[in-house]
Amino acid sequence: MAAEPVFHLAFPVQDLAATKAFYVQVLGCALGRDSDHWVDIDFFGHQLSAHLNTDDRSMATSEVDGIQVPLRHFGVVLERRDWDALAARIRVAGVPFLIEPTLRYAGKPGEQGTFFILDPAGNGLEFKSFTHAEDLFTDGL
């Protein structure tokens, strides 16, 4: 077991092969156990389980800091150099940004770089990098 708690998230996908290729080739994640109906993914040290489901394609949004973001999304907080490298890797792979890399809450507690992409199943992914790591849970917006 890891020294820190590890989250587990299960989510629906429509194509397991496309999901595996995206998470491994584009994001650089490793695969874990898999079957014909699901696959585990090492998502920056956390466990994702992508489950085959051809019925779920909802994409509601919510306004955050004046931008419409996918209401249902997940992601990871990275060190700035890793965040920059991942954004570059995604550009090279030709994956469109749903929300381009940007600095949110500039000059305020919680200042962070953020960007959103969609995986092949349309699941929203957010990648963040806080200017000050201690602001992860700061309420000052």
Please give the tally of structural domains in the chain: 1
Model confidence over 75-117: pLDDT tens digits? 999 999 999 999 999 999 999 999 999 998 899 888 999 999 9
- Whether 81 maps to a domain, the answer reads yes
Alpha carbon distances (Å) from 38 to 17, 20, 35:
10, 10, 5
Chain centre to alpha carbon of residue 97 = 12
Name the pTM for this structure: 0.81
The band of 1, judged by pLDDT with boundaries at 50, 70 and 90, is very low
Find the CATH number of the domain harbouring 31: 3.10.180.10
Alpha carbon distances (Å) from 8 to 12, 44, 74, 124:
14, 12, 11, 16
Residue span of the structural domain in which 101 resides: 8-53+61-135
